[in-house]
Amino acid sequence: MSSPATYFDELYQQSDDPWRLREGWYECRKRSLTLALLPRPRYRNAFEPGCANGELTAELARRCDMLLAADLHARAVELTRERVADAPQVRVEQRTVPGEWPTEAGPFDLIVISEFAYYLDAAELETLASRVAASLTTDGTLLACHWRRPFAEALESADAAHALFDARCGLSRLAHHDEADLLIDVWSRDARSVAQREGLL
């Protein structure tokens, strides 16, 4: 297996959209599911590590007063900045997470871990879960979304990563979407359902 830096260098040398995030129906549908599973219509301060070329970032921006997007790869950061150039509430930075966790930018009421956690080893995942738990507001939400099929660069499975978040972050699970290709989970410090939050119950 190549190093993460080499792996992403090779991907971005081949294409500005190596995962077909812009045009693939799988990715478009996944973004719609991700956004639909968020329990609130709007967030004050959100963090999205592993933003890739910014397709999800652009969608999240419409629902956030402030959004910090980050990626370890310089080309991904450049592409995301181009994608959200018309969204002044979005800041895009080059960071390696969880090591360069943006403590100074929090706390966050939304953290989105999308297609990112399986690149981390067990110790890094433990650190990530700890930093998520320490960085969420009292009403904060964590959403995790990952591809479930095995691939060479994955150090952990989607299921293992989500199980660790469930066990370590001290949050209530609000939503769980499970299919052969895809796993999405949503947890929050606010255990109320969407209907309860809206006063319907």
**158: enclosing H helix or E strand:** helix 158-168
Side-chain-facing half-sphere of 41: CA atoms under 13 Å: 3
Q: Would you say residue 147 has pLDDT above 70? A: yes
pLDDT digits (tens, 9 = 90+) for 54-96: 999 999 999 999 999 999 989 999 999 999 999 999 999 999 9
Q: Is 72 in contact with 7 (CB distance < 8 Å)?
A: no
Write down the domain spans for the chain: 4-197
Coil, strand, or helix at residue 133?
helix
Cα–Cα distance list, 181 to 2, 40, 106, 114, 195 (Å): 24, 26, 32, 14, 29
Q: What percent of the chain has pLDDT above 90?
A: 84
CATH superfamily of 4-197: Vaccinia Virus protein VP39 (3.40.50.150)
- The pLDDT tens digits of the residues spanning 6-65 come to 666 665 566 656 556 677 899 999 999 999 999 999 999 999 999 998 999 999 999 999
Global confidence as pTM:
0.90
pLDDT of residue 42: 97
Cα angle 68, 179, 76; round to 5: 30
